[in-house]
Structures are given as C-alpha cells and as structure tokens.
A and B are shown apart, each in its own frame.
Chain A
Amino acid sequence: MGLTRNVGLSAALRYKGQGPMWTFILHRVGGLGMAIFITTHLLASFLGGSAGQFVNDIYENWAFQVFIFFCVLFHAINGLRITILDLFPKLIPHLREAIWVEMAVFIPTYAVAALIIIRNGLGG
C-alpha cells in the first residue's frame, strides 16, 4: 500500500495550516484524552479497591479537571461544527468563518468554567 508520507517532523512542525489544522489537532487531543479518561474511569469503577481509589484521586484533582473539561468542550463544539459542515456541504467554503464562530463560543465558555475550577481548586 502506497500510504507512506514523506514528510519529516521538522517540516511538519513548520506547516502553517492555521485554524483548520489546529482544530484538527485539538480535536484529536480532545478525543484521545476523553477515550483514555473514560476507559480508565470505567475500569476503575469496575475494579474498585485501592487501584480504583488511586485513579479517582487523579481525576478529582483540579488540574486534571481543567484538562478533561478542555477535551470535552472542545471536542463537543468542534464536533458540532464538523457535523454541521459535513451534513450541509454547501457551507464548506465558509470553513474559516465557521471556525471563528466556534472560537467565539468555545473561548468564553471554557474560560469561565476553567476559572471557576481553578478558583475552587485553590480553595478560594
């Protein structure tokens, strides 16, 4: 199968894909983060005991909650943008504008939630 990509890491890092590339990467990071979190969460609840308690302590930590809420919220909002554009392909030429709308929803929502999580985490 001729599916090798002849692109080195440094060339890949210099690629300026802008919004569409960054949403693609963050969608992956968010999806992977959630997949790992939900798998360990299910296994921890299933196994219980000290191993389950250890995993529970990790995701009750405020730093982890800031991360996982980023994963969930970004994946959800970006996923909705992808779904709308893919189900209505006439909108695809407006991809970049759609990403600006997405950011206008995501950034304030996430900022407020992260602020509250961090404030509570630091005991304020």
Chain B
Amino acid sequence: MEKSHPVVLPLKKRGLNFEMLMWIFTRLSALAMYALILFAIVGALVMGARTQMNMADVLRWGFMPNSNHVQSTNIPDIAPWSTPFWRLTGSALLLVAVAHGVHGLVVICDDYIVTERGRKIVRLLSIVMMVSMSLIGLYLLWQDLLLG
C-alpha cells in the first residue's frame, strides 16, 4: 500500500480565519473534554464512588458532573456532589461540549448545503441552537441552588 505524503504548509501561508480557529478549537476542546471527564471521575473516586457506585454510575457522573446523575446510587449524602465547584466543572464541560457539537453539525451541513444563502441560514440556526442549549443546560445545572 503506497503511503500518501501530504504537503504541510507553514502557518503563515495557511492564513488565519474563523474556520481555521474553529478547526483548532475542535481539537483542543476534545482534549479539554478528556481532561474534564477524567477530572470528574477522579473526583467521584475521591468522594467515595469506589464503594458506593458501579462503573456505569461513575461514567454517568463523569460525562456530566450533575448531582441528578448520582441520585439513584448508594451515596449516603448528595451534598458534596452538588457543590458550586462541581456545578462550575459541569458548566465548563457543558459549554465546551455544546460549542464542539454545534460546530460539528455546521461542518456536516456544509458538506450537503453548498449555496451561500443556505450556509448563512445554517450558521444563524447554529448560533440559535448553541445559545439555547447552553442556557437550558446552565439552567438545569444551577436551578435548585439559585432558584430554590
């Protein structure tokens, strides 16, 4: 099998535009999500998950550190799991994931919608979706603390 050897342009010749920034954001946000998920899993183990939760519960907490996700486990007290610290971690994961995901949907749409007008509509819808999903997620993470 012959190997392809792609030409790698130096950064100056590649230019720096919004698409290029989103390209690097997609890669870096993937690493950030790995870090945040591992951080939440380590946090769960520190808070006693080793004896109070099974693997599926730990993963559910890891993918979104929201105390609703551990309600059904054997943890004796939910308070340490619903501190502002974990809500902030969850908010960071939410915002990074929504931005990464919505940009991914734009990339997929761009493969099938090729008119200038269509792509503008896709971008407008993507901004609406990103803002609304972020706000709904933040509401769900913080509602019982801030709104009683």
Which A residues lie at the B interface, using CB under 8 A? 1, 3-4, 28, 31-32, 34-35, 38-39, 42-43, 45-46, 72, 76, 79-80, 82-83, 86-87, 89, 92-93, 95-96
Contact = CB atoms under 8 A, between A and B. Distances in A.
Majority DSSP secondary structure for residues of A touching B: helix
Interface of B: 1, 3-6, 8, 27, 30-31, 34, 63, 68, 97, 101-102, 104-105, 108, 114-116, 133, 136-137, 139-140
Given A1-B116, A43-B136, A89-B8, A38 B27 contact: no
Contact of B136 (A46, A76, A93): A46
Contacts of A32: 105, 108
Nearest to A83: B27
Contacts, number: 52
B35 to A, nearest CB: 12
Interface centre among A32, A38, A87, A89 (most CB of B within 10 A): A38
Given A46-B140, A89-B6, 19 more contacts: A1-B115, A28-B108, A31-B101, A34-B101, A35-B102, A38-B101, A42-B136, A42-B137, A45-B140, A72-B63, A80-B30, A82-B27, A82-B30, A83-B30, A83-B31, A87-B27, A92-B6, A93-B4, A96-B3
